């Protein structure tokens, strides 16, 4: 019960942390994992988690129906990702707007929303 009430705070803190990490200079501060497309994988996973957290925040904190929460979470994740990319290109000297990052963000949110949708469909049938 406490976790359900905390979902909004968790989602908000995650969004703020993601914004900070997106807008600060990280050159030389992260280990090079030497993974092809490693940054795109990070974007994908970060925004998949973003969408999931906001889905639960809207379900549990604001009592949205699952379908509405899912739509809001997906749209919010996509818009947040696009805004972060625009801010990187506009207000930072060390970061640049990258359309492929925005695409990875969107795909992460889309896959997360799809998994949640299928989970909800299975739950309804049972």
Q: What is the pLDDT along the chain (126 residues), one digit of tens a residue?
A: 677 779 999 999 999 999 999 998 876 555 565 666 678 999 999 999 999 999 999 999 989 999 999 999 999 999 999 999 999 999 888 888 999 999 999 999 999 999 999 998 887 665
Pair 102, 82: CB distance under 8 Å: yes
Pair 44, 102: CB distance under 8 Å: no
Does residue 57 lie in a domain region?
yes
* Tokens 């979902």 sit on residue: 7
Q: What is the pTM of this model?
A: 0.88
Cα 37–chain centre separation? 18
Does residue 81 lie in a domain region?
yes
Does residue 29 lie in a domain region?
no
Number of structural domains (the chain) is 1
Distance CA 104, CA 77 (A): 11
Task: For residue 52, give its domain range.
Answer: 2-24+36-125
């Amino acid at each position: 019960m406490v976790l359900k009430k905390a979902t909004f705070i968790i989602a908000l803190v995650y969004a703020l942390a993601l914004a900070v990490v997106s807008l600060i200079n990280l050159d030389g501060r992260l280990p090079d994992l030497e993974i092809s497309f490693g940054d795109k994988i990070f974007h994908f996973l970060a925004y998949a988690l973003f969408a999931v957290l906001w889905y639960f925040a809207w379900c549990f904190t604001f009592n949205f129906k699952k379908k509405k929460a899912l739509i809001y979470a997906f749209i919010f994740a996509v818009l947040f990702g696009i805004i972060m990319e625009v801010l990187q290109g506009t207000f930072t000297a060390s970061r640049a707007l990258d359309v492929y990052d925005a695409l990875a963000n969107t795909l992460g949110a889309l896959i997360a929303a799809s998994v949640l949708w299928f989970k909800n469909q299975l739950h309804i049938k049972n």
